[in-house]
Structure 1
Amino acid sequence: MKMLKKYFNYGLTLVIMLATPLLYAKAESQVLATVDNLTITSDQLEMAVASSPFATQFIAMNEDDQAAIRGDLLRRMVISRLLYLEATHQGVDKNTIFIKEMNDFRLSQLYRHYMDKLRSRIQIPEEAVAAMKSQFKGNADGFAAARSAYLADRYRGLRMLTLQKLRDKYHVRIHEERLLPKSSDDTLLLEGDGIQITYGDIAPDRIDKKQINSAWLNDQLYKRAELLLIAKAAEEEEVDVSPRVKAFGDERLPALLVEQKQREWVPDDQTLKDYFRLHPEFGQIEERRHIGQLIVANRKQAESFRQRILAGESLFNLAGQYSIDPYGRSRNGDMGWIQPGRGMPQIEQALSKLADNEISGVIETPAGFHIITILERRPGSTKTFSGVRDRLLQAVISEKMNAYLQELEKRHRVVWNVIKEDTNPSTKTSASGGS
């Protein structure tokens, strides 16, 4: 079985496993999948769920929705590990871009740690707090703003004093006379004990040359100097940011490989234009309809509401009070602009025969009994290449990525370990599947 088929059609077995989180709570962490020698455990999956955009709503979801989210995250984690292994196989971790990004991230984490510690040293004297409370009595927002302004002012002063001390400590010398827009990359702009900054450090080739002037260069130089000085001070205090740096690298390597492949797949716009010529449907924008809808649980109620609407009551007021669709009820029945073919077949059939502002008959679907209307339409149109370029880019990359993942399957073995639900609580069975 091809890996992509597993990723995107794995439904039933993943739902069996992922809809039963209590299994994980009762037992030790389970290995859900392996990619070569890399494992994905139930604990790691739960951490991914907790840090996902759905985390706050997750507990309120039903089991099927929870299982779908877990399944999607697990597939993404397997793909990420596939790309990570391939990136290291291709030596992307030795790439100068990756090495520079890792170093810059390490410096930023050292800087952040040191400055957070510096900020935590600032205390507001009791008499200053009392004065603020007196001035902003009964005004909590005003008091909070005054307190923040006081801390910010003290932080700026402490920061400048700290930087000056570090410049003296590391014998920093700045060569502002060399700060010219056309300097060579190896021109030394700042030097000190264990610290140096060259022109190439602050004005790399990827920077738009139009924005490079003396004022911009001066600003970049002092920002870089501050970063290096603070990071060096943090290192001397033996601040350890290695776990965060490793986590960043683990995420960045796959992304860097994908960026590299994307440049290979789409080297220029001509590639996209050729694709557009073969797939002109990307330029076709279908008619869109602005839909209103009321859904209820039984036909008798639907027929009653329909008669009330025909007699002059508002479908939207009724939907806001009685619709069994939470989304529709929250929007008073306004379903927004919808393209043909996006709804259930029964709804599509009714819409195809409906005139603007006409109230439909009662339509039965698995979701309930619907009454719909079309408020207005936007006619279809044809877009030029520039209007659909981003969609074309996504389509080409998606096709190439699918084929690329199949290639990676042949190089890196994937094994799924699926915990199946057992009616006997004293036993469990596990279904493992390779590529």
Structure 2
Amino acid sequence: MDGAQSVQPAYALPADAAPQPAAETETAAPNNEIDLDRIIAVVNNDIITEHELEQRVHTVAINLRRQNIQLPPMEQLRIQVLERLITERAILQRARQTGIRVDDQMVNASIEQIARQNNLTIDELRQRLLADGVTFAAFRNEIRDEITTQRLREREVDEKIEIPESEVDAYLAEQAGFTGSDVTEYRISHILMPIDPGVEEDQVRAEAERVAERARAGEDFSTLVASYSRSEDALSGGDLGWRKQPDVPIEFWDAMKSDLASGNVYVAKSQHAFHVFKLVEKRNGVEAKLAGGPVVQTHARHILMFVSDITPEADVLRRLHDIKSRVESGQADFAAMARLNSVDSTATRGGDLGWLQTGDTVPEFEAAMNTLQPGEVSEPIKTNYGYHIIQVLERRTEKEGNPQRMRIAARQALRQKKLAEATYNWQRELRDEAFVDIREPSLRQR
């Protein structure tokens, strides 16, 4: 499964969500409407209003609380959310410029699927939206924007990633340096602090050191991530997941290799940014594969969903349980459900992950998959990537050490690393190329 997650249309209908400001503006006096629609930022020829910002801040705050992450100061949270909105505007503008269009049929199909997943008719969905202060037209636009963003990223990032044979050779040579019965894996969380144009490098370095000292003094690292990180995962804790040493960015490894104690906080510099990162914990990884020995392989497929601004955890779990029930009762086909619902890049293949063996997936996924018989569907499983349901198609026993398989696995690992970096660089370039005028001084990045 890919580490970088593609965007698929999804909508949350949280039962415990507080009424949105939009519901109040319908009966407010005209001068109050003007205040709520005050322009906060201009992005090329688009605007972001205070009303839009406050709605998104409210949703993000709810999701942070659901993940048991302490909220950063509200001023810092508003800055983070505004930056996300600015980047989204820049991406959609590029999509329009490059001629990407999402037709009404695709939007309608997505909305119908959302309604079914929430056990609603379209009319009932419309009423629920209105109760939450969301017009149906705004909802349709949000779904269209999400699909558009995915299509643009596939065109401008995914399709352009190349893995030369020389890189595969170098990766395999590096992997061959590991000996013993297991490999140490490291779980890392990070804060990305870019060196923006016109900003002194020493200024960013000093800020990174101050944040690191606060973390070393005991402040919650996830809260510092939500306050300071400019990475895409800033609002979900900055977790990079479990990585073996070759998969740790070289700048990180150089900073941490002399003292690998769990809980340590480090500062590292890459070409365009400073990074504050924490070694959360270590563990023994998968056993080294013995060339020539028999290995059990599993052909599996999955559906991946993740908690987002518009899809809280409770809704993700409810949707996955519903899909599992429909597949098991014969009302739906797993591959069709994956194409409609999965946020993984395998969605276009019906969620098919191909043949897997020990170490190919994260431990939580592997443990759940290994309990399934061919044809069975798992309960929702949580991993670093999100929530999955898994279906095993078949199993076989193969001889280990297939050179071609090793090259395929190496290419997939290299692609995963490149895709995450390329997606971030692409988003940042679009943001930097845009004309942005933030009209509220308190919301400007420091």
TM-score by length of 2: 0.35
Structure with the greater relative contact order (CA < 8 A, sep ≥ 6): 1 or 2? Answer: 2
Could you say which structure has the higher strand fraction? 2
